Chain A
Amino acid sequence: MSDEQTETIANRNFEITDQFLRRIPPWHLKPDGGISSAAFQNDDGTDMMSVNWLKLSSVEHTLCGPGLIGFGVASISAGLCYSLNQNPVYSPDIDNKAHCDIVGHKTKTISRIFSKQANYLRYPVAPP
């Protein structure tokens, strides 16, 4: 996708079917296979949680980078975000045009719903 195209879609509202990818650290994998709600908390000191927009990204792209051994990838929909009063915002980085933020205060309940309703495209692997 060209720069012009990404610029055009920067201001659009997401469709409820749009998907966002979030890396899941191996330390959030529970012994029973569940994922801790702590995997869906805002970045420290902000009201935003970083994700990649699936239309401009992929599991492989999301896991591309150093130090991501054992990480998994979860997918959450824009519809789920909207239903929880969370606002997905397109916020591309210089080195990551798929970058978005899910903006909004995340109560423990909201984080838990994300962890329960996310679609895990790649499961994290427990640390040795």
Chain B
Amino acid sequence: MIKMMLQTQPSKRYNRISRHRINLDAFRKNINRTESVRGSMIYGPVSHFDAKAILRYYNFNAIQSKRSILDSIQSSYDSVVTSLKPKYSNENSILSRVSPNVKITPSIPSVVKKRIQELERLADGWNSYSAKAINNEAIRMGISVLVQISSGLGSQLLDSVFIAPCSDGGIQLEWELDLKEFILKIEPDGQKMFYLLANPPKEEIEGIINSMTQLKTMLREFLIS
């Protein structure tokens, strides 16, 4: 499988349009350790139409060699990895144009990784009362949830998440958007999840998460309502 990485680097060749250029060699070196590659991972097969939407999403519509990039992706590449910042704030509308058989999985941003490492170091009694150390299962589930929800809802949720340690050894994923707030509590064993949705002036709602589909639906509504 041939993969391609689009990364942000200064380029005289494309100086008219942007700082972006394609670096195939760099990605090939990383092909077996993709976790070190920053940004989104996009798994194929990527059609011409998919590629167009993806490249537009990643602000590639101005690149001179767009035609050749699109052709290359369509004919030769079944997977694309990019580390570019999205141009459009309304990610969903852009990404929804990509066919369902293309899975887009943003990797975890370094700031989130750093936060997770911080929480992993917390020992029993970290809150000065009787809190338990954060359970690895809760952290594992938290990462899994972040990756899964971001694959359908764009990187906004990854970039804005706050991860709070809980006194029982679980964690909370928290998002705030204007006056709205969504809290996802992951139990220490990583098996159960609870949510709180605050969307003033409506009454706060809380309950249990039964499936990832339910969570994605709730977060989608949280983002757009």
In whole Å, how far is B125's beta carbon from the nearest beta carbon of chain A? 8
Determine if B119 and A27 form an interchain contact, defined as CB atoms under 8 angstroms apart: yes
Interface string of B109-144 (1 = CB under 8 A from A): 000000000110010001111111000000000000
CB neighbours of B206 from chain A (8 A): 107-109
Task: Tell me whether A30 and B174 are in contact in the complex, defined as CB-CB below 8 angstroms, given that A65-B128, A109-B204 are known contacts.
Answer: yes
Judged by a CB distance under 8 angstroms, whether B219 is at the interface is: no
CB neighbours of A127 from chain B (8 A): 118
**Interface size counted on chain B using CB atoms at 8 A:** 29
Judged by a CB distance under 8 angstroms, whether A58 is at the interface is: no
Determine if A27 and B162 form an interchain contact, defined as CB atoms under 8 angstroms apart: no
In whole Å, how far is B156's beta carbon from the nearest beta carbon of chain A? 15
CB neighbours of B198 from chain A (8 A): 112
The interface stretch among B43-51, B90-98, B163-171 is B163-171
| Distance of A68 Cα from B127 Cα, bound (Å) | 9
Judged by a CB distance under 8 angstroms, whether A25 is at the interface is: yes
The interface stretch among A12-20, A32-40, A79-87 is A32-40
* Interface pairs A-B: 10 shortest CB-CB: A108-B196, A36-B164, A38-B164, A44-B168, A25-B127, A43-B130, A41-B167, A109-B204, A23-B128, A108-B206
Would you give 10 A-B contacts (Cβ < 8 Å), ordered by A?
Answer: A25-B126, A25-B127, A25-B128, A27-B122, A36-B174, A38-B165, A42-B167, A43-B131, A44-B132, A108-B194
